[in-house]
Structure 1
């Protein structure tokens, strides 16, 4: 019996991802999890096996001799498990494929779905932002949490929430003394191009290396948080908006059910298959003759407690005098 047969296959897959990438951050992005979670899993695996799988302190990341041996064993076990799985059922009603772009957290909705529809697989796939629309139009996923704007032609979309922009700077930067700053306060800063959110990790590396600054959505700054960087709310920059989108022509019953989960409908709602249900055709039609789900696209609301930041810079206590003197704004 292999020493790995008692280890959860998910942990082995995560280890293989790091071993093949030899880069924790890239492997984490590919798996759609945080770097911290991936690192913690590898550490737990090392403790369980009582060995070092990666050479301590090696830059770039390097497999140890035991790590290389484990990689080969893990690949064999994963391949065997895949071969033993029953063939995927062709019926589209057996699963729902949902993509999500960087910065979107889908854990809550996954938990609700698995509790409400345990027999229907919810496949969650991380999608690069630059491929979000392509993934929908090419049927790679059935639905996707996207960052607007997208081409709305043939698409249904429900705006969910807006993201406050933040400026990321080194932790010893004077801006770190403020709770929030205006974009005008950044006029003299060396700004890094942060347009490509799929490459935000590299943007953070540049900010740390050259003591510059970058403006990104709050969720991206949180996703790529580093101990040597801080982020502060910045005003005068448009907020970004997250929406759930899908091709209108492919508005299936499962798509409607997932919309209900995201919109917070209860399990016994008349729109849920787990509660009393009217005739499906009647439910899908509204007075305009369009699917009822698409009609709700204007029902977005901000997360509870969200507030518009004031335009003026607000220094933190203890650093207000020094920071305000430096800015002179």
Structure 2
């Protein structure tokens, strides 16, 4: 059974005062309004809360038991409201931004700090394997992701496309060129799953003649780079990742004929907060003049939203008096 929180508070006031007039005065409402609310509550419960005709006002046994229940329900509701308010406050004053490997969000974070110094940004690194789970689990508010991604439930805006490069040992023949075509790599052993670089797979000699060896277990880009340095094969990765893992014994060269790696900004569509909108605007180049303003400040030009009715709470089962009747 559900009850209006306001009605429960009114009932508690009468039960504690044991006087309708004084309770109504303390609540700053009309006595008739208070009496009507109590009668409606008794009707909903199916039993009287106050002894009829008693002077001074007296609680029935059911009324005494329900008073304890009402206090618990009101306390739970107040705690819930406080927790939600605290959560909203923390979200307003912190924006959590995820960024996949190879993305450097420094410029946008700096601009954010200049425009909204009262709202901190927490940066959370990710990989193509973890970038979506961080978003869907709520670990980040917004994230820079490497496409493709499952867009279900997400808002996704493309930003730019990275150039693919081949990473080879410093003494590899590819190192002599400024850039290379994917067709020139057809006789190489690529340390990726075949579906990761379909352009190479379509022309690879080892795929065509069935001599391709199984890949070693590769858990990270760092491990991939180690295998390349050991001469076990080559890798084709976005240029930013090659730069991130640059080392003196390796070189990287742009590869023609391989699709670029798109970078996008994404966030859960149902969690499009003012903070998220402001950050996306900064990333897309919104100027200070076109900024929506401080995320926490209300827009006074908008009409106020209609007030929602008071939330009802679920009443737990309470013991019934043998004399109570429904």
**Which TM-score bucket, shorter chain as reference?**
0.5 to 0.7
Summarize the Cα distance change of 1:251–1:281 in structure 2 as closer, same or farther, 3 Å threshold.
farther
2:274 to 234, 243, 253: 253
Offset, 1:198: 6.8
Summarize the Cα distance change of 1:96–1:198 in structure 2 as closer, same or farther, 3 Å threshold.
farther
Q: CA RMSD in A?
A: 2.4
Mapped to 2, the partners of 1:219 and 1:190 lie a distance apart of 22
Offset, 1:206: 0.6
Tell me, yes or no, if the aligned pair for 1:197 and 1:220 is still in contact at 8 Å. Answer: no
In structure 2, the partner of 1:271 is: 292
Offset, 1:211: 5.5
Offset, 1:128: 2.3
SS in 2 for 1:238: coil
Mapped to 2, the partners of 1:244 and 1:132 lie a distance apart of 11
In structure 2, the partner of 1:214 is: 235
Q: Which has the larger radius of gyration?
A: 2
**Alignment: residue pair count:** 193
In structure 2, the partner of 1:180 is: 179
Offset, 1:177: 1.1
Mapped to 2, the partners of 1:171 and 1:128 lie a distance apart of 27
TM alignment of 1:87-166, pairs within 5 A: 90=87, 91=89, 92-166=91-165
Tell me, yes or no, if the aligned pair for 1:170 and 1:212 is still in contact at 8 Å. Answer: no
Offset, 1:152: 1.2
In structure 2, the partner of 1:238 is: 259
Offset, 1:166: 0.4
TM alignment of 1:1-329, pairs within 5 A: 90=87, 91=89, 92-193=91-192, 199-210=220-231, 212-273=233-294
Tell me, yes or no, if the aligned pair for 2:96 and 2:121 is still in contact at 8 Å. Answer: yes
What is the TM-score of this pair, normalised by structure 2?
0.55
Mapped to 2, the partners of 1:173 and 1:135 lie a distance apart of 38
Give unmatched runs, 5+ long, in structure 1: 1-88, 283-329
Mapped to 2, the partners of 1:217 and 1:280 lie a distance apart of 45
Offset, 1:193: 2.1
In structure 1, the partner of 2:323 is: none
SS in 2 for 1:215: strand
Mapped to 2, the partners of 1:222 and 1:181 lie a distance apart of 18
Tell me, yes or no, if the aligned pair for 2:169 and 2:231 is still in contact at 8 Å. Answer: no
Tell me, yes or no, if the aligned pair for 2:100 and 2:144 is still in contact at 8 Å. Answer: yes
Offset, 1:190: 2.3
Summarize the Cα distance change of 1:265–1:220 in structure 2 as closer, same or farther, 3 Å threshold.
same
In structure 1, the partner of 2:314 is: none
